[in-house]
Amino acid sequence: MITLSSIATTAILVISIWILVFSGKLYLNIKANSFRIQNPNLRNRIFTANTKIYIIRIVCLLLSLSFAFYSLFKIKSTEVESVKEFESADILFVVDVSLSMNTTDVSPNRLKRFQDLALRILPNLKGNRLGIIVFAGQSFSFCPLTTDIAAVSDYIQALGVEMVGSKGTNLSLALERLNKIRKKNNHVTSQITVVVSDGEDHENQTLPPIEGEVIVWGIGTEEGGFIEYRDPGTGRGGYVTKDAGISNSQTDSNLVISKMNVERLESIANQNHGTYYDVSLYADGAYALLDIVQTAKKKKIQSIERFKNEDGAHPFLIASIIFLFLERISNLFLQKLPKGIYKILFILLLLRVSHLEAWELDPGGNSIERGAKAYEQKKYTESQKEFEKAKEYIPDDPRLFYNESATAYQEGRYKEAIGIAEKILTHPKSGNDLKAKTHFSLGNIYSKLGDKKNALKSYSKTLEIDPNHLSAKKNIEHLTKKRESSQSQNPNNTEPKPNKPQEEQNKNRKEEKSDAERILDPFSQDSILKNKKGGYSDNEKFW
């Protein structure tokens, strides 16, 4: 084990060796200078260093090493607290880990399906507090509420049907535990609960009400399937039989068939004014969760982070670096360089200085950079403040307005976002590229508001400027398909009513509430805003 005393011993030894080496070299240099003076004919053949400069170099190097060594004994370790503010919703997954969740009617099994779905949307829940409660015959809090996405990912991957020893499916106990956790965090405005189960063995249970938003994810099929069980250590196992045994054959007539209880799951959702989704094959429930999180009113939460701050060595390290720099400079004067080399270097330095750009001294650019970072971290209020600071230095740049519009959109200030976007379109400095992006952004805002007419108009204007804008084309196609499919699926509207003119019917259709919000969902299977690499393909910020 390396200790401070061993480091000190090594440092003293190194400094002592350097003193001996340089003393020897200094002695040889002094003797060589004396020999040159005594033999003028050999003066041009023997090169020796200036003794004074050589001494300065030795002293600078030794001082540099000494200050670096001394700084080790000046380090002070102090506990520091840092308060961070962030906007968050509390999302609790109440997950069924009873044996029936190992049924293979959903590939590879019901529990694995939930794990795959949760891990896929997990990165986009960043910034919110997530937790997991598991239940079978008993329940316990498996993952406490945390903003650490990596930790939640590990917990999700560790889920298994063998983690709760008591058999059965007692959702009531899990919801009681959920309500206790909610009471401790009642200061959080947005509380979202996701109940994940196949609904089996939930009968004859009196369930306590759930506060906040409720989503029920059903996993399984009504036809059912066989329950597979394998020993986690050996991997041996088979299918569960009615007499609590294991059979390797799927043709065994004694096998247990587990069926999803849709009615029970729907009643849980209805009892809590929530929504039920079958996520066995489709991910609509996951998209609904992301929509709720995005539109939820989040409350600012303060978190206190404690860390050790080691300070006290900086002045000595700075002094060490300065003396090391002086040692390197003095070493140049000891070298045999061509005549005029210093003049050439000085001229080159002057030419270089004349072309320096003060990018580090640009307060506007720095504010924009900080604003962009805050935007990426979903700190939209902080991002808006930085963009406002940048306007003091760059008051008339439409690209800055584009960033402001994007921030307003993320905070749900849609009218303000539209107003800023319209300023960009009329700004004399706005180029075609910026106008195309702005029209596309307006289309997204109108789609979010359910205004199909203006959304289609904005996307069309995007294509007028940029005919190759793929996302705008697909958004238009998606919106028109949604309208056509909603009309065709309504049997009462298969034929126009004879007592209403065609124009009035068309007007009513336009005024119907749209489901166009789905086009803004980057996680939908039919998403048209997500490119192959992931993320929004045409919604990036400038700078």
pLDDT digits (tens, 9 = 90+) for 400-425: 788 888 878 877 788 888 888 888 88
Whether 258 and 169 have beta carbons less than 8 Å apart is answered as no
Looking at mean pLDDT, say which of 156-165, 346-355, 382-391 comes out highest: 156-165
Element (H, E) at 265: helix 262-271
Please say which residue of 352, 384, 418 terminates a domain. Answer: 352
Q: Do 69 and 162 belong together in one domain?
A: no
456 alpha carbon, distance to own chain's centre:
31
Q: Considering the domain boundaries, does residue 410 fall inside one?
A: yes
Whether 464 and 526 have beta carbons less than 8 Å apart is answered as no
- Residue 543: per-residue pLDDT: 38
- Residue 518: per-residue pLDDT: 40
**HSE (side-chain half, CA atoms, 13 Å) at 137:** 8
A 10 A CB-CB count for 241 gives 16
Q: Which two tokens stand for residue 61?
A: 């190097």
Check which CATH number belongs to the domain holding 153 and give it: 3.40.50.410
- Residue 359: per-residue pLDDT: 39
pLDDT digits (tens, 9 = 90+) for 428-464: 888 888 888 888 888 888 888 888 888 888 888 888 8
Q: Is the pLDDT of residue 49 over 90?
A: no
Q: Which residue has the higher pLDDT, 503 or 469?
A: 469
Q: Do 206 and 162 belong together in one domain?
A: yes
Q: Do 212 and 268 belong together in one domain?
A: yes
Task: Give dist(CA 276, CA 267) in Å, integer.
Answer: 9
- Residue 86: per-residue pLDDT: 64
Residue type, 102: N
Q: Considering the domain boundaries, does residue 539 fall inside one?
A: no
Site of tokens 């109108």: 446
Confidence band, pLDDT 50/70/90 cuts, at residue 82: low
Q: Do 216 and 264 belong together in one domain?
A: yes
Q: Which residue has the higher pLDDT, 412 or 323?
A: 323
Q: Do 401 and 424 belong together in one domain?
A: yes
Q: Quote the number of domains for the chain.
A: 3
Q: Is the pLDDT of residue 322 over 70?
A: yes
Q: Is the pLDDT of residue 381 over 50?
A: yes
- Residue 352: per-residue pLDDT: 55
Task: Give dist(CA 135, CA 133) in Å, integer.
Answer: 7
Q: Do 330 and 405 belong together in one domain?
A: no
Percent of the chain with pLDDT over 70: 73
Confidence band, pLDDT 50/70/90 cuts, at residue 121: very high
Please say which residue of 303, 336, 363 terminates a domain. Answer: 303
The mean predicted confidence, pLDDT, of the chain is 77
- Residue 493: per-residue pLDDT: 46
Confidence band, pLDDT 50/70/90 cuts, at residue 345: low
Q: Do 37 and 93 belong together in one domain?
A: no
Across the range 332-360, mean pLDDT stands at: 58
pLDDT digits (tens, 9 = 90+) for 238-288: 888 888 788 888 888 889 999 999 999 999 999 999 999 999 988 889 989
Longest dimension (CA), the chain: 126
Q: Considering the domain boundaries, does residue 245 fall inside one?
A: no
Q: Do 268 and 159 belong together in one domain?
A: yes
- Residue 143: per-residue pLDDT: 93
Those residues whose C-beta lies under 8 Å from the C-beta of residue 265, and which sit 6 or more positions away, are 195, 197, 199, 216, 218, 276
pTM: 0.46
- Residue 212: per-residue pLDDT: 86
A 10 A CB-CB count for 447 gives 25
Q: Do 392 and 499 belong together in one domain?
A: yes
- Residue 537: per-residue pLDDT: 37
Q: Considering the domain boundaries, does residue 540 fall inside one?
A: no
Q: What is the 3-state secondary structure (H, E, C) of 361-425?
A: CCHHHHHHHHHHHHHHCCCHHHHHHHHHHHHCCCCCCHHHHHHHHHHHHHCCCHHHHHHHHHHHH
Q: Do 498 and 388 belong together in one domain?
A: yes
Check which CATH number belongs to the domain holding 505 and give it: 1.25.40.10
pLDDT digits (tens, 9 = 90+) for 502-517: 444 444 444 443 433 3
Percent of the chain with pLDDT over 90: 19
- Residue 527: per-residue pLDDT: 35
Q: Which residue has the higher pLDDT, 381 or 148?
A: 148
Residue type, 270: N
Q: Considering the domain boundaries, does residue 384 fall inside one?
A: yes
Looking at mean pLDDT, say which of 127-131, 181-185, 387-391, 392-396 comes out highest: 127-131
> 202: domain range?
85-224+259-303
Q: Which residue has the higher pLDDT, 493 or 385?
A: 385
- Residue 110: per-residue pLDDT: 94
Task: Give dist(CA 362, CA 417) in Å, integer.
Answer: 27
End-to-end CA distance of the chain: 48
Helix, strand, coil shares, percent, the chain, to 5:
50, 15, 35
Confidence band, pLDDT 50/70/90 cuts, at residue 342: low
Q: Do 130 and 277 belong together in one domain?
A: yes
Q: Considering the domain boundaries, does residue 531 fall inside one?
A: no
Q: What is the 3-state secondary structure (H, E, C) of 449-500?
A: CCCHHHHHHHHHHHHHHCCCCHHHHHHHHHHHHHHHHHHHCCHHHCCCCCCC
Across the range 137-141, mean pLDDT stands at: 90
Task: Give dist(CA 483, CA 513) in Å, integer.
Answer: 10
Q: Do 417 and 341 belong together in one domain?
A: no
Q: Considering the domain boundaries, does residue 290 fall inside one?
A: yes
Q: Which two tokens stand for residue 96?
A: 């069924």
Q: Considering the domain boundaries, does residue 233 fall inside one?
A: no
- Left (φ > 0), alpha (ψ -120 to 50) or beta: where does 273 sit? left
